[in-house]
Structure 1
Amino acid sequence: MAHIHVESMQTAVPTRVALERGRTLPIAVTGLPIAAAELQHRFRAVLYYRDRLEGEAMAQLEQAAWVQDSLSEALADHPKMAGRLWRRHAGGGEGPWDWDVKLCDAGVRLLMASMDTTLTAFLEMEDRESKEPALALWTDVEAKDPEKCSPFVMQLTRFQGGGYAIGACCSLLHTDPLSFINFLKSWARTHAQLRAQNKLVPNQMIKYTRYFRNPGTTTRSLLQTINCLGQTTEMIRDIGDAPGRRALAEACVAQASEKLGVEKPTRFTVLAGDGLGGLNVLRSCAGCDGETTTTPPPPGHLLRDACWQEAGLEEAMLDGYKPVHVSCSIVSPGAEEGIVVVMQAGAGAELLISATVPSRK
C-alpha cells in the first residue's frame, strides 16, 4: 500500500500589506444557520507535473522554497485568499451568528510531502480518485474559532523517481471554485515570473521545507474511499438573467440527478456571489417529491453541459511544464442534500454552475 509522508507544515503569508486589509465580505444566509459540517465543504484541485529532479535533493528543496515564495507574492495581490472565515453575534449580542470573510494577512497553510510510489503508477491506479485526498490534506475549520483556521490549504507532494503534485483545497464559503481556479492560474504566472527574475534568496535560515524527523508520526496510508457517502458533481453553463436563481438551481439539481442516475435530493443549498464580493447562502426544497424527472429552467435561461476543464487549469505551467493531469472536485463530507454553486463565468450574463448530489440511489 502506498504511503504519504508529510515533511513540513508552514504558512505562506503575503509579501505586502494589502490596502483592503481588515475589510469584511458578508455571507448572507437565508434559512437555517450555517452548521459546522458546512465549513468543511470545499473545492479540491490536484495538478500533476513531471520534472527532471529525480535524486536531486538540493534542487527539490529549492523547488519547495520557490513554491512558498511565489505563493506569498501571489497572496499579496489577492488578499481574500489570505483571509479567514469570521463569525460574530448578529446585532452584536446573543443569538444566531453572522458570518463574513475577513481580508487579512493571516496566510495560507502550506504542506510539503513525499509519496513512496511513482507518478506514473499513481496516475494508473484504478482507485486513484479515492486516494487523491492524501495529495490535498485538509484540516477542519473549527466552528468556534474559524479565524484560527486556514480555509485555503496548498500541498506540494513529490513522487518517487521524479514528478510532483500540487494539491489545493478551499472552503466553498470562502471562495467559489472558479475564483479559486483563477487564483491558482495567477499563482502559476507569478511563479514563472519570479523564476525568470531569479528572485529567490538561497539558503534563508527561516525556510524549513523539511523538518519532521520522525517519519512514523507523519506518515499516512492512503485511504481506500473518500467517505462512506459519496457525491457526484455535474457542471452546467447557463446563459440568462439573474432573476430566478432558486428555480435555476432546482433545474440544475434535477438535470444533474437525471444524468448521473441518482435520486434527486429534496433539499439543497445554493451558494451564489452577491456581485460585490459577498456570498448568499440559500436553503431550498426541490418540490419534496424525490422524482428524477428534469425540472425545466426558468424562462430566459439556456442550460448546457460544461466541465471544469473549461476553466483552463490545464494551462497552468510550472517550471516550463504543463500538468500531465488535472483533477477537480467538490468535497462535501457527510452531506445528504444537494449543493449548488453559482459562479459568474465572465463579464456577461453567462454562469458556470456546479450541482453536487449524494450518490446514493
Structure 2
Amino acid sequence: MIYGTTNSLPKFQIEAIQSVVPIKTTDPRLTHRVSSITDSDIFQSRFHTIFYYNKVSSEDSGRTLAGWTKESLGRALQEQPIFGGRLRRGEEAEGVLEIVSNDGGIRLLEARISKTLAEFLDLEEREEAEAELVYWKDIDEENPQFSPLFYVQVTNFQCGGYSVGISCSLLLADPLAIICFLSRWANIHSKMVSETEMTKPPLFYLPKFKTNASSHTNQVGSNGVKDRQKPLIFETGKLNPNDVETRKALVSRCIEEAELKFGEKRASKFSLIVKTTSEPEEREVESYLRQGLMEEMPLSFSSGISCGSWDDLGASEVSFYEGNKPVCVSYWIGSIPGEGLLALIPCPDESVSEVFNVVVTIG
C-alpha cells in the first residue's frame, strides 16, 4: 500500500516485514515487573528515533543493512534478550504485568520513499513526513502477549541513502537504555560486515510483498503528528527515589522547568515511570493531575536539576558501517495528546547511583 497525506509529501511503501529473534534460545528467561498501572494510556507511550545515513559505497545501502540485520540484531538480542520480549499478565495478582524475554522478537520492516535523502531533510513538512519512517502498532491491552514492544524500520531513499527508524515502548526501556542498545547493535553490525565479504549478498534479504498483498498500514503515519511530543532531559542531584514525597517534588520541579522552557502549560495529567535499581528490575507507574500536584507543591526539591542535551546520549555516533555516521538524528515521544510523561532513570554510572536522569514531555 502506498500512501501520503498530501500531494506535497513523499509517498511511502512498506515492502517487507519479519521478526528478528535472538540467535540462541534465551534460558533462563528474564522478567521485569510492571507495577501500579493506574491508567492504560501508558500502554501506548513509546520512544521514536530516526537515524539518517548517506550512501558511502556501492555495498552500503538500506537494502543490504536490512538483509544483514537478521543476524546482527539477533546477536545483540542474545546479549539483551528483554528487548525481544513481550508483556504478559502475571500470576500473582489481577492486573499486574510483567515483561518476559520469551524470544517473541523485534519486528523488522523494510520500506521505500519517493524522494532523495537531501530532498526529504529539506521538507517544510518533515515532522509530519517522519511519522512514516517509524512503525508502531498499539499494544493490545486485553492480550498484550501478542504485541511487539520494539520495531525497526529501514527506509530506502531514491538516492541510495537510507534511514533506520526505531519505535520502542517506554514500559520496555527508557530512551537512554534504548540508545545504548542501538549503539551496541550498530557496533556488532559494523564489525560483522567488516569481517564478511561485502560483495557477498546477505543471507536474509527480507522477502518482498506481492503487489497489493500488504495489509500493513503505518499507524504512526496516521496519527503520529498529533501525538508527537518533544522531550527534555534533566539530570538530578542526589535523591532517594523510594520516597514518595521526594518523587512528587521532583515531578513538580521538572514540570515547572519544562513549561518554562516551552513557554506554555499544556498537559492536565502526567504519568511517571520509575525504573528501579532492584533485582529483578521493575517499572513503577504513577499518575498525577497537574492542578493538584502543582497546587500542593510538596516539599521543595533541594537537590537541584540541570537541563541535559540529547546529543550527550551518543546517538550521533551510531554507525552501522565504519565511518558512516548519521547526517541527522530525530527524537520524539509518542503518547496520548494533552498528557505529559516523565521517566525517572538511574544514572548508569554506579559510582553516582543516587543521581538520576529525568525525561520529560508536557503534552
* Alignment of 1:38 onto 2:42: yes
| Alignment equivalent of 1:350, drawn from 347, 355, 359 | 355
Contact 2:31 2:99 in 1 (8 A): yes
Contact 2:154 2:162 in 1 (8 A): yes
Q: Percent same amino acid at aligned positions?
A: 26
User: What is the letter of the counterpart of residue 157 of structure 2?
Assistant: F
Q: What residue number does 2:339 align with? A: 337
Q: What residue number does 2:3 align with? A: none
| Alignment equivalent of 1:24, drawn from 18, 25, 31 | 31
Structure 1 position 288, deviation (Å): 2.8
Q: What residue number does 2:18 align with? A: 10
Structure 1 position 199, deviation (Å): 8.2
* Alignment of 1:196 onto 2:226: no
TM-score, normalised by the number of residues in structure 2: 0.85
Structure 1 position 111, deviation (Å): 0.2
- What is the number of equivalent residue pairs in this alignment? 343
Question: 1:122 & 1:16 partners in 2: Cα distance?
Answer: 39
Contact 1:130 1:224 in 2 (8 A): no
* Alignment of 1:74 onto 2:46: no
Structure 1 position 68, deviation (Å): 2.2
Structure 1 position 242, deviation (Å): 2.2
Contact 1:297 1:303 in 2 (8 A): no
Question: 1:229 & 1:158 partners in 2: Cα distance?
Answer: 25
Question: 1:264 & 1:62 partners in 2: Cα distance?
Answer: 43
| Alignment equivalent of 2:98, drawn from 65, 88, 100 | 100
Question: 1:344 & 1:304 partners in 2: Cα distance?
Answer: 15
Question: 1:230 & 1:153 partners in 2: Cα distance?
Answer: 17
Question: 2:35 & 2:103 partners in 1: Cα distance?
Answer: 23
Question: 1:110 & 1:302 partners in 2: Cα distance?
Answer: 41
Q: What residue number does 2:329 align with? A: 326
Secondary structure of the residue aligned to 2:210 is: coil
The alpha-carbon distance between structure 1 residues 180 and 228, as it changes in their structure 2 partners (threshold 3 A), is closer
Question: 2:51 & 2:130 partners in 1: Cα distance?
Answer: 11
User: What is the letter of the counterpart of residue 194 of structure 2?
Assistant: A
The C-alpha deviation readout for 1:186-206, integer Å capped at 9, x for no partner, is 10111012112228996677x
Structure 1 position 350, deviation (Å): 2.7
Contact 1:13 1:108 in 2 (8 A): yes
Secondary structure of the residue aligned to 2:267 is: coil
User: What is the letter of the counterpart of residue 359 of structure 2?
Assistant: S
The alpha-carbon distance between structure 1 residues 226 and 60, as it changes in their structure 2 partners (threshold 3 A), is closer
Q: What residue number does 1:118 align with? A: 116
In the TM superposition, 1:299-310 aligns within 5 A as 299=302, 301-310=303-312
Question: 1:154 & 1:233 partners in 2: Cα distance?
Answer: 21
User: What is the letter of the counterpart of residue 113 of structure 1?
Assistant: A
User: What is the letter of the counterpart of residue 282 of structure 2?
Assistant: G
Contact 1:7 1:218 in 2 (8 A): no
Segments of 5+ residues of structure 2 without an aligned counterpart are 1-8
The C-alpha deviation readout for 1:308-354, integer Å capped at 9, x for no partner, is 2111110111212000001111111x343221011123221332211
Question: 2:321 & 2:138 partners in 1: Cα distance?
Answer: 32
Structure 1 position 220, deviation (Å): 7.1
Contact 2:259 2:265 in 1 (8 A): yes
In the TM superposition, 1:206-217 aligns within 5 A as 207-214=204-211, 217=214
The alpha-carbon distance between structure 1 residues 290 and 273, as it changes in their structure 2 partners (threshold 3 A), is closer
Question: 2:165 & 2:25 partners in 1: Cα distance?
Answer: 26
Q: What residue number does 1:288 align with? A: 292
Secondary structure of the residue aligned to 2:36 is: strand
The alpha-carbon distance between structure 1 residues 204 and 161, as it changes in their structure 2 partners (threshold 3 A), is closer
Structure 1 position 241, deviation (Å): 1.6
The alpha-carbon distance between structure 1 residues 317 and 60, as it changes in their structure 2 partners (threshold 3 A), is closer
Q: What residue number does 2:5 align with? A: none
Question: 2:299 & 2:229 partners in 1: Cα distance?
Answer: 23
Larger fraction in strand: 1
Contact 1:13 1:82 in 2 (8 A): yes
Secondary structure of the residue aligned to 2:131 is: helix
Question: 2:259 & 2:174 partners in 1: Cα distance?
Answer: 22
TM-score, normalised by the number of residues in structure 1: 0.86
Contact 2:49 2:331 in 1 (8 A): yes
The C-alpha deviation readout for 1:241-266, integer Å capped at 9, x for no partner, is 22412210121012101221221534
Question: 1:242 & 1:289 partners in 2: Cα distance?
Answer: 19
Secondary structure of the residue aligned to 1:113 is: strand
The C-alpha deviation readout for 1:172-191, integer Å capped at 9, x for no partner, is 11111111111000101110
In the TM superposition, 1:51-200 aligns within 5 A as 51-52=55-56, 61-88=63-90, 91=93, 96-198=94-196
- Give the CA RMSD over aligned residues: 2.9
Question: 1:214 & 1:265 partners in 2: Cα distance?
Answer: 43
Q: What residue number does 2:255 align with? A: 253
Structure 1 position 217, deviation (Å): 4.7
Secondary structure of the residue aligned to 1:198 is: coil
Secondary structure of the residue aligned to 1:150 is: coil
Question: 2:202 & 2:122 partners in 1: Cα distance?
Answer: 38
